[in-house]
Amino acid sequence: MSGRVGPGGLASIVGAAVAAALLVFTPSFEGTKLKTYRDLAGVLTYCTGATENAMWGKTYTPVECQAQLERDLERHAAGVARCVPMSRLNAGQRVAFVDAAYNIGVPAFCGSTMARRINAGDVTGACDALLMWNKVGGREVRGLTLRRQKERDLCLKGLP
């Protein structure tokens, strides 16, 4: 996919406060690299975890990386919204699930226990299911474990 998802941008999908939170939360775990590199799974990656149209050896500017992050978060938020109604999610859940989808991909998110449980009304179970996604190639990765724990904390925030 490429280009804008819609006229309203990320904020129109998840709300302005959630959009602002995602633009801080996601880079805090992804980091930003101005040159293409291979991630832990060997996927050609650039900027803040972007993979779309990656070209080996290319260097990006901070402005290009910020614009790519905004497009990618918008696209992933739209994907999450197609399989989980945003109206069912509080702000923390929106951040957690969009960030997870950004990291694992929309198809993986939409086919996951997270999506099944949230759609069944099991919010706590959906938040707990985030913790299942902490491996690369079957091996636990500390950074992913920490990311999933932070997502889960946000997801559970405000629940009884």
Q: How far is CA 122 from the centre of its chain?
A: 21
10-156 classified as CATH 1.10.530.40? yes
Indicate which residue of 30, 72, 74, 151 is catalytic.
30
Full pLDDT tens readout for the chain, 160 residues: 334 444 469 999 999 999 999 999 999 999 999 999 999 889 999 999 999 999 999 999 999 999 999 999 999 999 999 999 999 999 999 999 999 999 999 999 999 999 999 999 999 999 999 999 999 999 999 999 999 999 999 999 977 7
Whole-number Å distance between alpha carbons of 87 and 72:
21
70 is catalytic: no
Report the pLDDT value the prediction gives residue 158, as an integer from 0 to 100.
77
39 is catalytic: yes
Report the pLDDT value the prediction gives residue 7, as an integer from 0 to 100.
45
Report the pLDDT value the prediction gives residue 159, as an integer from 0 to 100.
79
Domain residue extents for the chain: 10-156
Report the pLDDT value the prediction gives residue 8, as an integer from 0 to 100.
63
User: Is 0.85 surpassed by the pTM of this model?
Assistant: yes
